[in-house]
Structure formats: C-alpha cells, structure tokens
Amino acid sequence: MGNTKIHNDPELDDFLRRTHEIDNERKQKRSNKPPAPKPKPKYVSQRNQFNENDLEEARKILQSSDILEFNEEMVVDGSEYDDNNNHDDLTFKSAYNYEKTFSPKKKNYSLDELDLEHDESNLDPASRKPQNNDSNMEFSVSKEDFLLLQRIKKNRESKIDEIKPKGEIPPKINKFTDKNVPKETLSPRKKTMPTRGKPRAQNVKIQYDIEIDMDAPSLPLRKSQRNVRDEEPEDHTTENGVYMRRFNRINNERSSSPRPQLPSRPASNHPYTPTSRDVESEGGSSEDEQDKPSLPSRGHARHTNSAKRDLKEYPPATKPKPNFNKSTKEIVTSKILKKDEPVVIRNVMPEPMSTIELIDEEADLLSFSDSVTPPSTNNKKIDSNISNNSLSDIRIPSTRNTNSSLPPAPPTSRKSNETTTFIESLNHNKLTETHKTSPETPKKKVELQGIDYLDSVQLKSPSPHVSPSNSQKPSPIKPRVSKLPRSESFIHSALNCNLETGKKVSPPIGKDKPALPTKPLKFTNKETVISDTEDDNEMTDLKTFRIKNGQNDEASTKIPPKVPKKNSNIKLPILKPVEIKPVSTKAKKSLNDEHKLELPKLRSVNGKESNLMVNGKKGNKPDVPKRKPTIPEALVNAKLLKKTNIDHKDSSAETQIEPTPEALTKKNTLSSIKVAPAIPERKISLPEALKRANQLKSQTNQSKVLENTTNQPINVRLESVMALHQRKTFNGYKTPSEPTPIRRISTTVSSSSSSSSSSTPLVHVTKGRAKGPRRKLPSKI
C-alpha cells in the first residue's frame, strides 16, 4: 500500500502535474521511447483531465467539507484509477500526496531530485499497472480487505450524504462498488467483520494493519472515548474516523515538527490553507477538532508546492520517522516485495539505497499508514498529539495513554471475539507504538516487551508488577484477573506468578494449616475481610485468593505478624507438657498423687480380691492368695527346720559315735594282724617265662658286653655301642624320644628278638607243601 500511496501522491499533486508536463515535453523532445510516453498520456491525461477540469471544483469541495479528505484516502486505496469522475478526490489526493511527497524531502531529499525522478519514469509505469490490471490492485491490497474498505466508504458516504449530500462522492464509490463488489457483500458489515481476520492472517500486508484500524470493535470505543474526552467531536466521522485519523495522524506527525515552524511560515499566504482551516473550523463546528491539525498539514503541503525550500527545513522535524521505520520493519519484511515497489521508492528517494534501506524507506512511508493502523490506541495518541504542540510533549503522553488507559479497553472488545492472529497484530501495533516512544522512554519499551512475553498486551497484570510507578494499578487489575480464566495458559502463568508472590506472603500465615479443612476457612475469612469482602464463602476461588495475595503483597505484610501469634498459640499447648515438667512442681505433685493413688488401688484390689475369693469368684491376680498361705507355711517350715537341726545334731552325735568304733576296730584289727597278707603268686605260662628268660639273658649279655667293653679301649666300646644302635634302627623299632631305663630294656628286648629273628632263617612255607604229582618239566625250561 505504501507503494501505491507513493504512486498516487505525486500523481495527484499539482506540482507534479506541472513537472509531468515538463517531463513529457522533455521526453518528447529528447527521446521517442514508446513505452514510457504511451502510458503517460493515458494516466497523465486522466490526471490532466482531473486536474485541469476539476481543480477548481476540488478546491471548492475542500472548502466545503472534510469528507473529501476522507475520500482522498479512498482514492489512495486505488479506487481513483478506475473512477475518472472523481475529480474532487484527485484534487484532494494531490493535496494529500504533497505531504507524502514531501516526506522524503524531510529526509533531506531535495525537491529537485524528486521532481526529476517523478518526471522521468517511475511514476508512469506504476500508474499504468493499476490501470491495466485489477490483479495488480490485488497485490497491493487483498480483495476482501479492499472490498471491506469500499463498504465502509459506502457506509460513511451514505452517512455523509445524509449529513452533507454531495453528488460527486457517492457516485464514485457506487461506481466502484457496482463494478467490483457484489451488492450483497456491501450491505452488511457485521457479516463481513468476522471474515476479515482470515485473509489478514493469510496475507500480512500493510493494508492489513491499516484495515485493523477499520475494525468494527474499535469504532464504538472511539465513540465512547471521544464522547468522554470530547477530543474528537466529529459525529459524522466517528464511524468513518479511521481514515480521518490516519490522515490526521500523518499530518500531525509531520506537522508536529514543523508546527513551531509553521506559524513562522505564512500559511495564510496561500489561498488553500485558510480555506482548509475554515473548512476545519466548520468541521470543528461539526465537532471535528482532530481534523484541525490535519488540515494545516495539507495547507503545509500545499505551501510546499509553492515553496520547495521551505520543505527542506522539515527534515529535522521528521527525525522521528526512522523510529517509525524501525517499528514497521517487521511488517514490511513480511511483505512480498514487488517490482513496482522499488520503482516507486526510486521515485521518492533519488539516492541509491540497499534493499534493506529501501525497505526502511517503505516502512517510513508505511509508517504513515502504520501510525494510523494502531486502532484504538493510536486514536488517543492522536488526541494527545493534537493537544500537545511539541513532539516530546506529544509522544510521552501517548505512551502514557497506551500504558494506562487505552490498552485495557481493546482487550475487552477484541479478545472475546477474535482469534489470536488479531492479538498478534495488536502486539505488532503496540510494538510500533513503543518504538515511537522508544527514543525518549526506553524503560517503557522494556515493560511493553515484558508484556509481549505474556502473549497479550491486553493483560497487563504483569506490567503493574514490573512497573511499580503505577500506584493505582491494583484496582484496575481486579477485573483483569477476572478475565484471566479465558486463556488457560496465561492463567497458569499468571497464577504461577501470583503463587510465587502468594507464597512469600503465605509462610507467616502457615501453609501447613491450609491443608487442614477448617483453618483455611478462618484464614480466608480474615484475609478477605482485610482485602475484599468478595467471595468469602467459596474456597474454590483459591486462585483469586492467591492472586489477591500476590497483588497485595505489600498490603498483606501486615497479616503475617497476626498469624504467627495464632501459630504460637497453637504451639504453646504442645510445648507446655514438654517444657513445664522440670519447672512445674504441680506435675510432680500430680505424679506423686498418682503413685499414691496406685497404692491404695492395689490395696483396694486386694480387698476386692479377698472379697471375691470369699464370694468364690476368680480374681485377676492369683499371687496374693498364695502369699497368705505361704507365710504360715514358712513359719511351720522354720519350726520344722529347727526341729530337724536338733535331730541332725542328735543323729550326728550318734553317727560320730558310730564311726569311731569302726575306725578303732579297723585299727585294732590292723594292729592285731601286724602281718601282711600273703600275695597270691602269679602263675606264669611257659611262653611268657621263655620270653622273660630271653630278656634276662639279653640283659645279662648287654651287661657282659658292657663289662667287656669296659675292659676294651674306647674305640672298641664306641663301635659296640654304634653297632647296637644300628641294630635297633635297622630292625625298625621306634626309638624312644627319651631314653628311659624301661625302654632301654624294651629296646634290648627288641634287639634280642631281632637278633633271634635274624638268626633264624626264612621259613618258606611253600617249601614244605605238597609238590604235586610227578610231571614232566615244561619244554621251555
């Protein structure tokens, strides 16, 4: 759209007409380029027809009403190309496009360069295409949106006709509508309103942002706001005020900087401006106060037509525009660049620029439309802008308005009805607004970006948390919180945020207690009494409770000291029994009393048991009846034991008497015998006798050997001893570890036996057995 506007702006200017004529003359003189001149005559002829024939009529119309300004934008949208009869629109477009053409001038572009570019080529092919093909129109604007715009125009015009019937405007739109738009679609707005969102979501275009402003929900708000503030008293433009606002914004934004200069400029010198102001004054009589600034811009634009050098002074005033460009980059980048667009930009901007810069320039141009686009908020900005004279004074209140009052209003209307895409568009719009405010108030940008994080600028519940400056926020937040449940995701986020804040508040209150069913009710009742009297009975609104706590953190700080008192009261009874034991003597007394009580209980029980035993009933404790009989038994036994001791003593005495005679008798017997009893001789068998005899012999032999050895020298003796030892070892008898005489004997015995065995030859049993029958020896042997 920005491109189309750019095409339209120079085309409609009177100044450009002159330049075109001059250029055409030049071209005719210089070159015979067929494509360039051919379209021009058509287009220029139209212009010339319009301009030449209808200039005066258009001027009259300008003087007559502001509605023509409204129609100018309608022409800007592209309807003028088809309508040759809209002379008035063309004239007004010329006035409007002056301003736009001067916008690059404000960016330090010289009028000469612009004129050259306009004259040379770019204007004409751009003008051709929309004439030749309606599809080209569709490229710039989606059909549906364009039709909607046309419908709105119709409606407005119809209303305007009612107010101020003018034969020129209605036929323009009627023709267009008769040509392109079916009648059925034109009549009902509301039917088409919901359908708008779909093509917008599909086609993100500059006019899309513009059309958002055209949304129906925004319009009634404007009415209300305007009615409240009385800043925009236009009655006939209330519904159609979007276009007016756009135009006014553009004018205001451009005129805001030159305003200090404008008064210096004698706008009254030009015939147009007083007329326009007069018209505005007339419009002001018709409650259009906003249009007043817009008209001086026109006048200013028309003054520029007369004085180009004066326009060179504008650029310092238009410095904020690059800010707008940045804001609109996102929207512009989403666009599909077309061949026409850079061409148009060339028309506007003579200097060679990169594609990005071109886009920026487009955004600059679009910013005019974008500035118009933010639907409701921008309207109020415009109001603020109108009210203020300087840019700084204008921008700051605009942001304030957006933060404080304006944004909450749109969510109520839009959020309920429309899709998220629309919300996103709002976000984009508000980003643009913030960028506008960015150079002077960067902090507010950050705040608004934080709002973007929550997917909706509408819900500014986090924003008040971020910005503590707004002291009056908690009160407006309450209804917002009530709106939260619509989007669950945001609810969770908000609740989490609030829960965190609520947790900070809750610990003194005692979170463990809400688990109990009764206590939370108490707490809720108390806190609700403190905070709000709403919804005290329902515990289901814990979310709201927590949110309220989160919101009223500072206010709720007073609550916690009260609550710990309750906790202390609750804990004291628990601590008392533990701590009081050493301190309180009453407990000891009570314990002693208890012990005392226990003893009589036992006694009483004994009595009872005795009674029970008497009654023949079985007692629980059988030990007690046993004790009583045991005592006499013990006594009896003790008596018996004494008696027995006495008896033992007697018996012991008797027994002592008895053994003595036994011993004496034995002694007597022993003494009497005096002769040892005869030991029975052992009968030794013959083999044993033989063995002993052999042993004795061996002993005697050893003694003899030793005796012999004594007589012999030592060496011989040693040899004999060694021989004896060798015999012992050789025979396999185990030598004793300790050479005792007894074993020595045994060894000797063994040696003797060995000697005897060795002496005896081997007995071959087989030698004495039967030899068998006589037989012949084997042949082998």
Judge whether 409 and 471 are in contact, CB under 8 Å.
Answer: no
Q: Rounded to the nearest whole angstrom, what is the least distance from the CB of residue 749 to other proteins in the complex?
A: 15
Q: Rounded to the nearest whole angstrom, what is the least distance from the CB of residue 686 to other proteins in the complex?
A: 21
Query: In 3D, which of 587, 568, 590 has the Cα closest to residue 578?
Result: 587
Contact with other proteins (CB under 8 A) among 725, 730, 756, 758: 725
42 binds other proteins (CB under 8 A): no
Tell me whether residue 584 or residue 729 sits nearer to other proteins (CB atom).
Answer: 729
**For the chain, first and last CA: distance in Å?**
143
Query: In 3D, which of 219, 209, 221, 215 has the Cα closest to residue 194?
Result: 215
Q: Quick one: which segment of 49-57, 147-155, 482-490, 727-735 binds other proteins (CB under 8 A)?
A: 727-735
614 binds other proteins (CB under 8 A): no
Contact with other proteins (CB under 8 A) among 264, 655, 729, 756: 729
- What is the DSSP secondary-structure string of 659-674? HHHHHHHHHHHHHHH-
Chain CA centroid to CA 561, Å: 32
Contact with other proteins (CB under 8 A) among 706, 746, 748, 753: 706
User: Site residues for other proteins, window 100-119 (CB under 8 A)?
Assistant: none
Q: Quick one: which segment of 9-17, 299-307, 368-376, 773-781 binds other proteins (CB under 8 A)?
A: 773-781
Q: Rounded to the nearest whole angstrom, what is the least distance from the CB of residue 758 to other proteins in the complex?
A: 13
Tell me whether residue 663 or residue 765 sits nearer to other proteins (CB atom).
Answer: 765
Q: What is the DSSP letter of 49?
A: I
Contact with other proteins (CB under 8 A) among 37, 76, 709, 757: 709
User: Site residues for other proteins, window 285-324 (CB under 8 A)?
Assistant: none
Q: Rounded to the nearest whole angstrom, what is the least distance from the CB of residue 768 to other proteins in the complex?
A: 7
Tell me whether residue 729 or residue 757 sits nearer to other proteins (CB atom).
Answer: 729
Judge whether 349 and 361 are in contact, CB under 8 Å.
Answer: yes
- What is the DSSP secondary-structure string of 574-624? HHHHHHHHHH-HHHHHHHHHHHHHHHHHHHHHHHHHHHHHHHTPPPS-THH
Q: Which residues contact 724 (CB under 8 A, 6 or more apart)?
A: 702, 705, 751
780 binds other proteins (CB under 8 A): yes
Counts for the chain of helices (H) and strands (E), in that order? 43, 0
Contact with other proteins (CB under 8 A) among 721, 730, 756, 757: 721
Tell me whether residue 36 or residue 724 sits nearer to other proteins (CB atom).
Answer: 724
Q: Rounded to the nearest whole angstrom, what is the least distance from the CB of residue 683 to other proteins in the complex?
A: 29
Tell me whether residue 742 or residue 770 sits nearer to other proteins (CB atom).
Answer: 770
599 binds other proteins (CB under 8 A): no
Q: Quick one: which segment of 166-174, 537-545, 618-626, 715-723 binds other proteins (CB under 8 A)?
A: 715-723
Q: Quick one: which segment of 265-273, 480-488, 529-537, 756-764 binds other proteins (CB under 8 A)?
A: 756-764
Q: Rounded to the nearest whole angstrom, what is the least distance from the CB of residue 679 to other proteins in the complex?
A: 34
Tell me whether residue 592 or residue 703 sits nearer to other proteins (CB atom).
Answer: 703
d(CA 97, CA 3) in angstroms, rounded, equals 12
Tell me whether residue 540 or residue 710 sits nearer to other proteins (CB atom).
Answer: 710
User: Site residues for other proteins, window 60-89 (CB under 8 A)?
Assistant: none
SS (H, E, C) 471-516: CCCHHHHHHHHHHHHHCHHHHHHHHHHHHHHHHHHHHHHCCCHHHC
737 binds other proteins (CB under 8 A): yes
In angstroms, the Cα distances linking 313 to 44, 364, 641 are 30, 18, 144
515 binds other proteins (CB under 8 A): no
Using CA of residue 388, residue 70, residue 367, residue 216, what is the dihedral sign? positive
Contact with other proteins (CB under 8 A) among 682, 714, 715, 748: 714
Q: Which residues contact 755 (CB under 8 A, 6 or more apart)?
A: 727
Q: Quick one: which segment of 25-33, 151-159, 591-599, 728-736 binds other proteins (CB under 8 A)?
A: 728-736
Q: Quick one: which segment of 100-108, 194-202, 550-558, 762-770 binds other proteins (CB under 8 A)?
A: 762-770
Q: Rounded to the nearest whole angstrom, what is the least distance from the CB of residue 780 to other proteins in the complex?
A: 7
Query: In 3D, which of 439, 355, 330, 336 has the Cα closest to residue 394?
Result: 439
d(CA 478, CA 405) in angstroms, rounded, equals 15
767 binds other proteins (CB under 8 A): yes
Judge whether 197 and 422 are in contact, CB under 8 Å.
Answer: yes
Instruction: Show the tokens assigned to 190.
Output: 């509301």
d(CA 543, CA 17) in angstroms, rounded, equals 67
d(CA 695, CA 688) in angstroms, rounded, equals 10
Tell me whether residue 110 or residue 720 sits nearer to other proteins (CB atom).
Answer: 720
781 binds other proteins (CB under 8 A): yes
Instruction: Show the tokens assigned to 708.
Output: 């012999």
Q: Quick one: which segment of 64-72, 128-136, 336-344, 716-724 binds other proteins (CB under 8 A)?
A: 716-724
507 binds other proteins (CB under 8 A): no
> For the stretch 669-699, what's the b/e string if a residue is b when 16 or more beta carbons lie within 10 angstroms of its beta carbon?
eeeeeeeeeeeeeeeeeeeeeeeeeebeebe
Q: Rounded to the nearest whole angstrom, what is the least distance from the CB of residue 744 to other proteins in the complex?
A: 8
724 binds other proteins (CB under 8 A): yes
Contact with other proteins (CB under 8 A) among 492, 736, 756, 757: 736
**Amino acid at the residue 178:** D
Tell me whether residue 643 or residue 744 sits nearer to other proteins (CB atom).
Answer: 744
761 binds other proteins (CB under 8 A): yes
In angstroms, the Cα distances linking 56 to 51, 75, 85, 414, 659 are 8, 18, 14, 44, 176
Q: Rounded to the nearest whole angstrom, what is the least distance from the CB of residue 676 to other proteins in the complex?
A: 37
Judge whether 70 and 240 are in contact, CB under 8 Å.
Answer: yes
Using CA of residue 600, residue 605, residue 611, residue 613, what is the dihedral sign? negative
Tell me whether residue 595 or residue 764 sits nearer to other proteins (CB atom).
Answer: 764
Instruction: Show the tokens assigned to 670.
Output: 């022993």
d(CA 573, CA 571) in angstroms, rounded, equals 6
Instruction: Count other C-beta atoms under 10 Å from residue 756's C-beta.
Output: 11
The torsion region of residue 216 among left (phi > 0), alpha (psi -120 to 50) and beta comes to alpha
Count of residues touching other proteins (by CB under 8 A): 38
Instruction: Count other C-beta atoms under 10 Å from residue 158's C-beta.
Output: 14
d(CA 710, CA 713) in angstroms, rounded, equals 7
Instruction: Show the tokens assigned to 570.
Output: 């609750």
Contact with other proteins (CB under 8 A) among 735, 756, 757, 758: 735
776 binds other proteins (CB under 8 A): yes
Q: Quick one: which segment of 10-18, 41-49, 243-251, 718-726 binds other proteins (CB under 8 A)?
A: 718-726
Q: Rounded to the nearest whole angstrom, what is the least distance from the CB of residue 675 to other proteins in the complex?
A: 41
682 binds other proteins (CB under 8 A): no
Q: Quick one: which segment of 44-52, 92-100, 471-479, 757-765 binds other proteins (CB under 8 A)?
A: 757-765
d(CA 419, CA 700) in angstroms, rounded, equals 141
583 binds other proteins (CB under 8 A): no
Q: Rounded to the nearest whole angstrom, what is the least distance from the CB of residue 738 to other proteins in the complex?
A: 8
722 binds other proteins (CB under 8 A): yes
Q: Rounded to the nearest whole angstrom, what is the least distance from the CB of residue 750 to other proteins in the complex?
A: 13
Q: Rounded to the nearest whole angstrom, what is the least distance from the CB of residue 762 to other proteins in the complex?
A: 5
746 binds other proteins (CB under 8 A): no
723 binds other proteins (CB under 8 A): no
Query: In 3D, which of 375, 500, 387 has the Cα closest to residue 430?
Result: 375
Q: Where do contacts with other proteins occur on this chain (CB under 8 A)? A: 706, 709-710, 714, 717-718, 720-722, 724-725, 728-729, 735-737, 739, 744, 761-762, 764-781
